[in-house]
Amino acid sequence: METRAMKLAKSAKGLIKGLAPKQKQTRQKTTKPLKPSPLTTSLPRGHVGLDTTEPDKLSRVGEQDEHEHAARPANIIAEAQRAATGKSAAVILGRRPRHDMGHPATAIAIHEDQDASLRDPTTRRSHKAANASLTATVGADEMVQTYSDEEESEDNGSCYSEESEASEDDVDESVVEDMRKLEENFKGISQRYRLINRIGEGTFSTVYKAEQLPQPDEVDENDEPADDDADPDAPPSKRRKTNAAVGKPTRSRRKPQMVALKKIYVTSSPHRILNELELLHELRDSPYICPLLTAFRHLDQVVAVLPYFRHLDFRLYYRDFLVNDMRHYFRSLFNGLWHVHKAGILHRDIKPTNFLYDHSRREGVLVDFGLAERQGTDWQPCLCTEAKDKRREKFLNSFAVQVLHTQPDLISTGYPKSDSRPSRRANRAGTRGFRAPEVLLKCTSQTTKIDIWSAGVILLTLLARRFPFFNSADDVDAMIEMASIFGRRKMQTVAAMHGQLFETNIETIGERGFTLDKIIIWASCREKEHDTLRAGEAQAVSFLQGLLELDCHKRLSAKEALQHEFFTAPVEDEEERAEREAQEAVEEAERMKRR
């Protein structure tokens, strides 16, 4: 029986043999960085302030009792009212002075004319650096990925998918109509961008792939004069300057610059829009974060402009990921999380569709900060922050424990009919299947460790070859799924740590649960002769145990994860090494073919 390594080796040899006569040395083309467009912020006359005294705490899933605040026309950012009236000279994005973090108090300049704009002093420099390293062109072998799955959190719109050139002629009529309406309703957008296709759609936003159009006042080194009257003996640069001086148009030879336009629906909370733009602006210098190029507002509509990144749909490769591939994937992911957490920010929605990974370059970027928040927002004391002895004392004296002592049959009958305790309110935002146990248990002191748990679920998905691994319909089912793996005893311990009780009469949930290596072997349906983990997989499972730790205080941080032996001292057996070398040969042959 041929092994997987032998098949890959044959495939690589066939590709290399067929491509040998076609090898050519070609000069690599350079891509000109995107030039950021101004962020229009002028408000119409008669602008009325929006009451935002109650920030929304809507969870993307499992929150039937809370609804998003609808944005009123022209009230997209409440703080802009003060800027438009001249009472404030700083921060249209709502940022407070942060001298302790090195941010100037007036990081954003505001102009009060009709075409007022927001522009960071370092925008041009940071955009050039970001786009030079991250913006990718679209090749003929790329693919279309459109999302409309309501099980995803707030939106999958930030997933900027790959698209083939031929797909531009196959755009659905409904998508064409949506793009036409956007161009009609959003003043000036058609002069700046040419909409190509819809590449993402979610609850609160839609993302379109677009080409950035050259502006009349822009001069590029590849532009040529459009008329034939110019001096043919003059150098191209002089002809361009001459035509620009007399107002004559030029023909552009520049390479098309692709961007992703994220149209945020008017039903989104102004606080959420404000928060996302602010955090993206703060994290703009990180190479692992999708930078915000610019944003536009027209009446009650907001469009954010972000780079278009080449990547593959997670569902196309998660079954074929080798351990070595996982190592590159998670090194890039945890580098991104380290930059986010270092700034004191919780992403809150880590999942495969929010990490755009380019397998050929082995690089990825984090996107979709719609649910992100600063650590400490709405912070309230939780029992998990107390000392262990004090925590136990408070738990034993809690109302729930007293009720169970007086009514031991309550477990089999349900819960008290008249419970006078006030309901606990905590942020439970996220995507089903990726939320940490402290989020499900309504911990009021959540930290950046919730993102580490979500990353661990992705690793478990890759090792088990199952996506999605957790597929619960609500919070109760999610707790049952966790208990089925980790056992009743551990779930009771972590629930008590957050001042909660976990009791169930489901007989299939054992006391001790199962080890992660057994779960992976069962889920991957291996044959009996391969019922043990290989060396690289065993090391990955050891790393996974630190990520999927129920106790958030014992869970690895992003910095600690990068220092794990999974990255610093990788191991692999002979079969894994053969598979890796065969796959690398196939990838090299594919790169030669693309050239």
Count CA atoms closer than 13 A to 332's CA, side-chain side.
Answer: 21
Q: How confident is the model at residue 224 (pLDDT cuts 50, 70, 90)?
A: low
Say if CB 312 and CB 359 are below 8 A apart: yes
Q: What is the pLDDT of residue 52?
A: 34
More confident site: 439 or 170: 439
Three-class secondary structure of residue 225 per DSSP:
strand
Supply the pLDDT for residue 389.
61
Fold matches, 39-307 and 379-415+432-556: no
Q: Which amino acid is at 372?
A: A
- pLDDT score recorded for residue 169: 57
106 vs 95: CA distance, rounded Å: 9
Per-residue pLDDT band at 422 (split at 50, 70, 90): low
**Looking at per-residue confidence, does 348 or 397 come out higher?**
348
Q: Tell me the percentage of the chain whose pLDDT exceeds 70.
A: 57
Whole-number Å distance between alpha carbons of 158 and 351? 12
Average per-residue pLDDT for the chain = 71
Residue with tokens 């031929």: 166
Token pair of 243 as six digits: 């035509």
Looking at per-residue confidence, does 583 or 276 come out higher?
276
Q: What is the pTM of this model?
A: 0.66
| More confident of the two residues 64 and 210 | 210
| Cβ proximity of 188 and 142 under 8 Å | no
pLDDT digits (tens, 9 = 90+) for 1-33: 556 666 655 655 554 455 444 444 444 444 444
Q: Which residue has the tokens 């929010």?
A: 354
Residue 263's pLDDT band (cuts 50, 70, 90): very high
Among 52-66, 471-485, 559-573, name the one with the lowest average pLDDT.
52-66
pLDDT of 83-93, one tens digit each?
444 433 333 33
SS3 content of the chain, % helix, strand, coil (to 5): 40, 10, 50
56 is catalytic: no
Asked if residue 159 has pLDDT above 80, the reply is no
pLDDT for 541: 96
d(CA 308, CA 138): 9
- pLDDT, residue 550, reads 95
Looking at residues 511-516, what average pLDDT do you find? Answer: 93
Q: How far apart are CA 106 and CA 98, in angstroms?
A: 10
Cα angle: 116, vertex 117, 118; to 5 degrees: 140
* CA quadruple 273, 274, 275, 280: dihedral sign: positive
pLDDT of residue 503: 86
- Tokens representing residue 509 in the block: 């949930």
Count the Cβ atoms, other than its own, within 10 Å of residue 356: 27
CB 451 within 8 A of CB 348: yes
The percentage of the chain sitting over the pLDDT mark of 90, rounded to a whole number, equals 36
- Torsional class of 97: left (φ above 0), alpha (ψ -120 to 50), beta (otherwise): beta
Q: Which of 63-77, 300-314, 377-391, 543-557 has the highest mean pLDDT?
A: 543-557
CATH of 39-307, one of 3.40.30.10, 3.30.460.20, 3.90.550.10, 3.30.200.20: 3.30.200.20
**Domain parsing of the chain, residue ranges:** 39-307, 379-415+432-556
Q: What's the average model confidence in pLDDT over 191-199? A: 92
For 386, other C-beta atoms within 10 Å of its C-beta total: 16
* Secondary structure class of 289 (helix, strand, coil): strand
How far apart CA 114 and CA 336 sit, in angstroms, is 38
Q: What is the DSSP letter of 62?
A: S
Question: If pLDDT is split at 50, 70 and 90, which confidence band does 219 have?
Answer: low
Q: Which of 189-197's residues contact partners 24+ apart within 8 Å by CB, and which partners?
A: 189/261, 189/296, 189/298, 189/303, 192/37, 193/259, 193/261, 193/305, 195/261, 196/163, 196/168, 196/171, 196/258, 197/144, 197/163, 197/167, 197/168, 197/171
The DSSP secondary-structure symbol of 103 reads: B
Asked whether residue 35 carries a pLDDT value surpassing 50, the answer given is: no
Query: Rounded distance, CA 430 to CA 448, Å?
Result: 13
Judged against a pLDDT cut of 60, whether residue 136 lies above it is answered with: no
The encoded tokens of residue 130 equal 């970001």
Q: Residue 18 phi/psi, 5° resolution?
A: -75, -20
Segment 271-280, tens digit of pLDDT = 889 999 999 9
The catalytically annotated residue of 223, 349, 451, 517 is 349
Question: How many of the other CB atoms lie within 10 Å of CB of 78?
Answer: 16
Q: 32 near 135, Cβ under 8 Å? A: no
Ramachandran region of residue 414, left (φ > 0), alpha (ψ -120 to 50) or beta?
left
Report pLDDT digits (tens) over 278-332.
999 999 999 999 999 999 998 888 999 999 988 888 999 899 899 999 999 999 9
In DSSP notation, 447-488 reads: -THHHHHHHHHHHHHHHHT-SSS---SSHHHHHHHHHHHH-H
- Are 577 and 2 in contact by the 8 Å Cβ rule? The answer is no
Contact status, residue 511 vs residue 487, Cβ threshold 8 Å: yes
pLDDT the model gives residue 252? 53
Average pLDDT over residues 155-165: 42
User: What's the average model confidence in pLDDT over 451-474?
Assistant: 95
Pick from 53, 43, 182: nearest CA to 114: 43
- 120: pLDDT strictly greater than 90: no
Three-state SS for 317-361 is HCCCCCHHHHHHHHHHHHHHHHHHHHCCEECCCCCHHHEEEECCC
The span from the CA of 250 to the CA of 247, in Å, is: 9
CATH number of this structure's domain 379-415+432-556:
1.10.510.10
- What are the angstrom distances between the C-alpha of 112 and each of 41, 82, 83, 273, 304? 9, 11, 8, 22, 21
Place of tokens 């927002």: 377
